Amino acid sequence: EQATNVTDLSYFHVNYMLKQIKKNKNLTDEIRLAKTFTHAQNTYGAESYIHGFSGYALELLISYYKTFLNFIKEIIRIDPKKAKLVIDPEKFYKNSQEALTQINSSKIISPIILIDPTYKERNASSSLSEETLYKFQNACRSFLKNPSKDAFRKKSVMEEFRNKKPVILTIKTNKQAGDIAGTKSKKFTTFLLSRLKKEFEIRKEGFEYDENENIAKFYLLLGKKKPNTIRGPPVTSPYNLTQFKKAHPKAIIKGNYAYVTLKHNLTFKKWFENFKKADKKIIRDMDITELMSN
């Protein structure tokens, strides 16, 4: 409560954790296990391009669940689509609902609401996204089913695509290396996917950012997309109908609307060439200075 800015809280964080370690002599080892495992699964870090567990959040979670195993057994039970998990170690609030109404709405977007025991208005796990949680849950299930030291070894995203002949995109930005550049690169891949899905089936994707080189890699396994029919403008809109027919010469009129069946026969190489030309301005506006494919 004495800290008016969350950036001043590190002193209180350290003191709180030291008290917890005195209560649980094995806590340090359990925290080390959790951090090593989470890092190995590419779900460690509060950076915006990771949206994972921060180091402090993991310390609090292990302190709360007592052991690494207890933590991962409980974490796989969370279903954020049904309800957020609210953890209040110091019981600042009467119940979960009170916590959710008292904390700033921008801080409770994450699937886990972890009340900072040193500052009750702060969600210590606010950086965690649903996507990263699902990824972590899958890793936990795999580990519990088949425990292995290999689960604690950091692997590159490329290893997940080994022997699968993925498309590999190299992305460079003119932004400062670190969270800013990583986030810019990740945001660009979201835009790229929105375009790519119109022509291909996305079977698997993986993002990796190297802060030292300030380069991002985006891995893709693509499949052929089946033909699909789209509805165009109504016949009562002559101008739009003319434009639609120009874009789709094989369009037909059925009822009061134009329709066309789209076939997806482009190779990725050809699609990529078209994409870079058609969206050249958007790519530039998103601060992407270099975009290459393998």
Per residue in 73-127, pLDDT tens?
A: 999 999 999 999 999 999 999 999 999 998 888 889 999 999 999 999 999 999 9
Task: State the DSSP code for 4.
Answer: S
C-beta atoms surrounding 95 within 10 Å: 10
Reply yes or no on whether the pLDDT at 5 is more than 70.
Answer: no
**175: nearest Cα among 285, 88, 279:** 285
Per residue in 7-43, pLDDT tens?
A: 445 878 889 999 999 999 999 999 999 999 999 999 9
Reply yes or no on whether the pLDDT at 177 is more than 60.
Answer: yes
- The reported pLDDT for the residue numbered 213 is 94
In percent, the amount of the chain with pLDDT more than 70 equals: 97
Task: State the DSSP code for 43.
Answer: -
Q: 172-209: b or e for each residue (b if 16 or more CB lie within 10 Å)?
A: bbebeeebebbbbbbbbbeebeeebeebbeeeebbbbb
Question: What is the CB-side half-sphere exposure of residue 238 using CA atoms within 13 A?
Answer: 0
Domains of the chain: 6-152 (1.10.1410.30), 157-225+266-293 (3.30.70), 228-262 (no CATH)
Task: State the DSSP code for 111.
Answer: S
CA distance 131 to 110: 10
CA distance 166 to 89: 44
